[in-house]
């Protein structure tokens, strides 16, 4: 339970109402952010939790150690069983988020079905990292 709380607190920063921002090139940014998120989710789906931490945004890694991440995500994801389906429900670009530095973020919500949880909403938040690459900075399952 403590690990679930850790994931919720860490990633819960991204669950506030954030104003949507439209800008030139938003479609390209959205696609890059989605590709990053899907690649990262594939690691989590495969149980490669340490690799998912390695591929996460600097912001994420500065706030949680690899060991705490592995323990927390394992305690949340393993009981759900295997991924059955994941469909993008929404995508929202923003430059500001509570408790985070200004930057570029895309909040992605997926309708997800797992073997042991048929109706879940996954929120994945890629951000443009310091090196200009899109990497996941937040993850939450509801």
In the chain the domains, ranked by start, together with CATH numbers, are 2-141 (3.10.450.100)
26 band by pLDDT with thresholds 50, 70 and 90: low
Structure confidence at residue 4 as a pLDDT band (50, 70, 90): very low
For residue 113, pLDDT beyond 70: yes
pLDDT digits (tens, 9 = 90+) for 35-63: 999 999 999 999 999 999 999 999 999 99
| Mean of the per-residue pLDDT values of the chain | 86
Q: Tell me the whole-structure pTM to 2 decimals.
A: 0.82
Query: For residue 42, what are the CA distances in angstroms to 1, 36, 118, 140?
Result: 24, 10, 19, 15
Compute the distance between CA of residue 52 and CA of residue 136 in angstroms, rounded to an integer: 9
b (16+ CB within 10 A) / e for 91-126: bebbeebeebeebbbbbbbbebebeeeeeeebbbbb
* 29 — pLDDT class (breaks 50, 70, 90): confident
């Amino acid at each position: 339970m403590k690990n679930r709380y850790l994931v919720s607190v860490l990633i819960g920063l991204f669950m506030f109402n954030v104003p949507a921002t439209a800008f030139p090139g938003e479609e390209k940014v959205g696609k890059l952010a989605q590709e990053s998120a899907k690649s990262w989710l594939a690691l989590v789906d495969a149980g490669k939790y340490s690799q998912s931490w390695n591929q996460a945004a600097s912001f994420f890694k500065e706030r949680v150690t690899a060991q705490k991440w592995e323990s927390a995500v394992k305690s949340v994801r393993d009981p759900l069983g295997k991924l059955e389906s994941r469909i993008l429900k929404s995508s929202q670009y923003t430059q500001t988020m509570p408790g985070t530095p200004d930057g570029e973020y895309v909040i992605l919500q997926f309708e997800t079905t797992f073997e042991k949880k048929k109706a879940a909403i996954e929120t994945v938040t890629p951000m443009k990292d310091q090196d200009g690459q899109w990497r996941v900075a937040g993850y939450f399952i509801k």
